[in-house]
Chains A and B, each alone.
Chain A
Amino acid sequence: MADTASNAIPRAAGTDMRSLLRRLAPFFGTPLNAALTIVLLWLMARFGWLLLDWAVLKAAIFPAEPETCAGTSGACWSFVIAKSGQILFGIYPPTERWRAGLVCVLIITTLVASARPSAWRPSLGLVWVGMMVVVLWLMGGGFGLATVPTSSWGGLPVTLILTVFAIGLGFPAAILLALGRRSALPVVRTLSVLFIETIRGLPLLSLLLVASILLPLFLPDSLLPDKFVRALIALTIFAAAYLAEVLRGGLQSIPGGQSEAAEALGLGYWKTQRLIILPQAIRIVIPALTNTIIVMIKNTSLVLVVGLFDLISSGKAALSDPAWPAPSTETFLFIGLIYFALAFSFARFADFLERSGAEKRG
């Protein structure tokens, strides 16, 4: 063992040099490639420097006051710092912001805790229902907390609540719709098809407008749910219709022999779906589900058209403070970063799920 190791050292040095050359070959192998490489490197350095200069070197950061930004040509981060509370929590009463913060922590913690497949037991459903109840209590108040109407909710908690509730409620509905569309019962099948095709045929924007403007015209005030709830319902049925079609793709790819084998063992329809068909179907459509869910995370920002304050509308509201210059680039970069973090973590999670499934089956 020791012999081979000492022998390997001089040889390694030679291969290192050669492998370095081999790796550089695609970039400098021909005059054209060499020229392209140099031009691109120059451009990257040029813009990289500009970005660094703007975002860090010339940036106005501390103290977080309007004067800090005066006269700087760099980024005005002091605005984002000073206004972070307003951007993150919108018009939620500043004294109660801890509640909105706690809601974000609670939702994210529950999501992370649910991520490992070993945690997927029926009891997890109860944890989620419990989490949703606590979230609504913390945000809305009552039972010892000051009441905050949904019209005062805003920012990140709104984005998180809309996303989690729309997908959390939309996913089970999507499963039923997808099964319904493949049902042998004509009534169930027709209703499922009608629902899916109608919702899929409408833009989300129009659904939200119907929920917020048209519905109040037809329903008496006593029957009319809260504006926030109406927007949530619109997002939920939209998510359900899209997720249903993704799931149907998965259901169709499971060979008929699977449900025959399950039924021959005496498992009824629902147990067959739950234990045999859905686990396989969902795993197959993980990439497409991820895509739809990420789109849904970002779709929640459309609620701003019906006057709800999600992350983006809170950012816009913060920008309207006359005491400050309005550094919209910095604000939207900050918000963009939050969206990116949400979507990217979810994509990584889906990737992890897919790989863990593949490893299991060798």
Chain B
Amino acid sequence: MKDVESQKDRSAAISIENLGKSFGDFQALRNVTLTVAQGERIVICGPSGSGKSTLIRTINRLEQHQTGRIVVEGTELTNDLKGIEKIRSEVGMVFQHFNLFPHLTILENCTLAPVWVRKLPREEAEETAMHFLRKVRIPEQAGKYPGQLSGGQQQRVAIARALCMRPRIMLFDEPTSALDPEMIKEVLDTMIELADEGMTMVCVTHEMGFAQAVADRVVFMDSGQIVEENQPAAFFSAPRNERTKLFLSQILGH
């Protein structure tokens, strides 16, 4: 029995079981169970306060869960700092507000973690960084500071920064919510490219077009629970739960 379980953990990129978390009286996550296979693309959506951001943040321990267990790439998340740092260096994260380091250039933003965490030689780290900056189509901004870039450019740098660690999993926490409408597409295009290359991705987003285009599964959360999960075609055309229907009518209605 134990062997079977660890076998399952190894093949799954992320395995979340009966996860629970509360902030004081507020129950943010209740009994969440979700398995993400290698190379799978998951989109998580739901009304604000439904726990979707909390869930994605527990995967790299930015939030600590209280009950249940999370296994990421075969390592269980516990209080063991070594394990946490190992998981964090294998899981890239992109934030709503980019969170680039304003005192470092774009290139330095991208080389910092490879040099200090992966212990790569600076030259090698810079080569990798330029590779990924070309990939997100802003190599010419390498010498600038984040404050000199537009929001869309900053978010693409943030994606490149995460990729420089050569992560096996990418987490996106509402990556386009803080962007002006005309910049959303350039970020989504970058994400779609990444998905096409087979990266394991978990995205919290309200971009339903993106979900339809790339997601293998769409997960709908409400009140800290997974209410419904399905393949995108079925999810959008035939939602089963009343709350999903209401949410979809609100978000697709305008």
B64-78 near A? 1/0 per residue, CB < 8 Å: 000000000000000
| CB contact between B89 and one of A266, A279, A283 (< 8 Å): that residue | A266
Interface string of B44-71 (1 = CB under 8 A from A): 0000000000000000101000000000
Q: Are B103 and A279 in contact (CB under 8 A)?
A: yes
* Contact A261 B145, CB 8 Å, known A266-B113, A275-B112, A275-B116: no
Residue of A263, A266, A268, A280 ringed by the most chain B CB atoms within 10 A: A266
Segment from B19-27, B91-99, B179-187, B200-208 that makes contact with A: B91-99
A276 & B88 in contact (Cβ 8 Å cutoff): no
Q: Are A258 and B145 in contact (CB under 8 A)?
A: no
Q: Any chain B CB within 8 A of the CB of A264? A: yes
- B206 → A minimal CB distance (Å): 20
Q: Are A361 and B148 in contact (CB under 8 A)?
A: yes
Q: Which residues of A are found within 8 Å of B147, using beta-carbon distances? A: 361-362
Say whether A265 faces chain B, with CB atoms less than 8 Å apart: yes
CA distance A257 to B161 in the complex (A): 15
A258-279 contact mask (Cβ, 8 Å, vs B): 1 or 0 = 1011111111100100011001
Question: Residue of A at shortest CB range from B147?
Answer: A361
Complex interface residues of chain B between 74 and 131 (CB less than 8 A to chain A): 81, 85-86, 88-89, 91-93, 95, 97, 99-103, 112-113, 116-117
Known interface pairs A260-B95, A361-B147; A267-B101 also in contact (CB < 8 Å): no
What residues of chain B lie closer than 8 Å to A121, measured between beta carbons? none
A202 CB to nearest B CB, Å: 36
Determine whether the beta carbon of B116 is less than 8 Å from that of A280.
no
B108, chain A: closest CB distance, angstroms? 10
Are B165's CB and A280's CB within 8 A? no
Give per-residue flags for A351-362: 1 if the beta carbon is below 8 A from chain B beta carbons, else 0. Answer: 000000100111
- Whether A266 contacts B102 by the Cβ 8 Å rule is no
Are A280 and B103 within 8 A (Cβ)?
yes
Q: Is the CB of B113 within 8 A of A268?
A: no
On whether the beta carbons of B117 and A257 are closer than 8 Å, the reply is no
* CA of A324 to CA of B165, assembled, Å: 74
Closest Cβ–Cβ distance, residue B70 to chain A (whole Å): 15
Q: How far is the CB of A262 from chain B (nearest CB, A)?
A: 8
Across the interface, A265 reaches (CB within 8 A) one of B86, B103, B112, namely B112
- Collect the chain B residues with CB atoms within 8 Å of residue A265's CB: 88-89, 112-113, 117, 161-162, 165
**A residues with CB within 8 A of B:** 255, 257-258, 260-268, 271, 275-276, 279-280, 283, 357, 360-362
Between-chain CB contacts (< 8 Å), 7 pairs: A255-B99, A260-B62, A261-B101, A264-B62, A264-B162, A266-B86, A268-B85
Top 10 A-B residue pairs of the complex, sorted by shortest distance between their CB atoms: A266-B89, A261-B99, A265-B113, A257-B99, A264-B93, A266-B88, A266-B117, A361-B145, A362-B148, A361-B147
